[in-house]
Structure 1
Amino acid sequence: MEINLAQCFIAVDDHDKALAFYRDVLGLEVRNDVGFEGMRWVTVGSPAQPGVDIVLEPPLADPNATDSDRRAVAELMAKGLLRGVIFRTDDVDATFERIRAAGGDVLQEPMDQPYGVRDCAFRDPAGNMLRFSRPRG
């Protein structure tokens, strides 16, 4: 039995800002852009991984969510407490410089980690943490 990652979801509060970052800065391709009942979902992905999608979704797009739930998620996003994703890159330092030069919100400059990777970290426009890593060695 084989299991593969197909999609992961990242909550964003402004799809246009998110697209400017994920498409224009990171170089991901837009695979889908769908609106439904006043909400929007944008799917992006690396051209090198056609079978893996990142869905940029509205915060708490659950129809059963209450206004209180939505406010709580918005507060977590504003604090940068929601999880993002870890990208693998062939050159952490070059990736860091590219994102920083584009105005990326730096959380951590490139460094060698004790668990065997070199990585750096940024926040996307919605506050999600994104790490960019490469195994050392």
Structure 2
Amino acid sequence: MPHSSPLRVLETCLYAEDLDAAHDFYTGVLELKLHSRAEGRHVFLHCDTGMVLIFNPDATEVCDPDGIPCHGSRGVEHVCWAVEREDLDGWRDRLIAHGVAIEHEQSWPNGARSVYFRDPAGNSLEFATPRLWENDPD
């Protein structure tokens, strides 16, 4: 049966054992809106039309044979958010004002720019201007 390719990424997952710190960082610093929270298990956040799911790996690597397949990770993950070119410096300044260290800033050959930083769990996060990938619209 014919089908089209996927439309977009609907959700992405990060992992953090300290969900309180993750909640405070993602809602307070990055201004994502809380969708739901299950104590000790997860924090789910809205990011425009997508979702950022933050799981405690201690809870999600245990498989429930009658439920959603187990999934979990340990170690550093990466997520990149697109931000408008004119907003990138403001986001960098906001991160610094909240005590978040800027790990790296990159100017790409195609004119895109990126700012890299870490969340409290050590995950690698990035804000980038939309033209980071050649097929991205301005």
Q: Same-fold call, TM > 0.5?
A: yes
1:45 to 2:46 alignment: yes
User: How much does 1:13 deviate?
Assistant: 1.6
Structure 2 Cα separation of the partners of residues 21 and 115 of structure 1: 31
Match of 2:127 in 1: 132
Corresponding residue for residue 62 of structure 1: 61
Q: How does 1:1-137 map to 2 (within 5 A)?
A: 1-3=4-6, 4-35=8-39, 39-46=40-47, 49-50=48-49, 52-59=50-57, 61-63=60-62, 73=74, 76=75, 82-90=76-84, 91-109=87-105, 111-134=106-129, 135=131
Cα distance between partner residues in 2 of 1:133 and 1:86: 7
Deviations 1:68-122 (A, max 9, x none): xx9x93xx3xxxxx1220001112111111111111132113x412254101110
Q: TM-score scaled to structure 1, two decimals?
A: 0.75
Looking at structure 2, the residues matched to 130 and 122 of structure 1 have their Cα atoms a distance apart, in angstroms, of 5
Structure 1 or 2, whichever has the larger Rg, is 2
Structure 1 portions without partners, runs of 5+: 65-69, 77-81
In the TM superposition, what is the alpha-carbon distance from 1:12 to its structure 2 partner?
0.8
Q: Secondary structure at the match of 1:19?
A: helix
How many pairs were matched up? Answer: 117
Moved over 3 A (4+): none
Give unmatched runs, 5+ long, in structure 2.
64-71, 133-137
RMSD: 2.3
Q: Which amino acid aligns with 2:44?
A: T
- CA distance in 2: counterparts of 1:6 and 1:18, whole angstroms: 20
Q: Is the Cα–Cα contact under 8 Å of residues 34 and 41 in structure 1 kept in the other structure?
A: yes
Please list the CA deviations of residues 18-76 of structure 1 after superposition, one character each: whole Å capped at 9, or x if unmatched.
Answer: 111100011100011124xxx32110122xx23x1110101252115xxxxx9x93xx3
Range 54-63 or range 24-33, more displaced? 54-63
1:45 is aligned with what amino acid? H
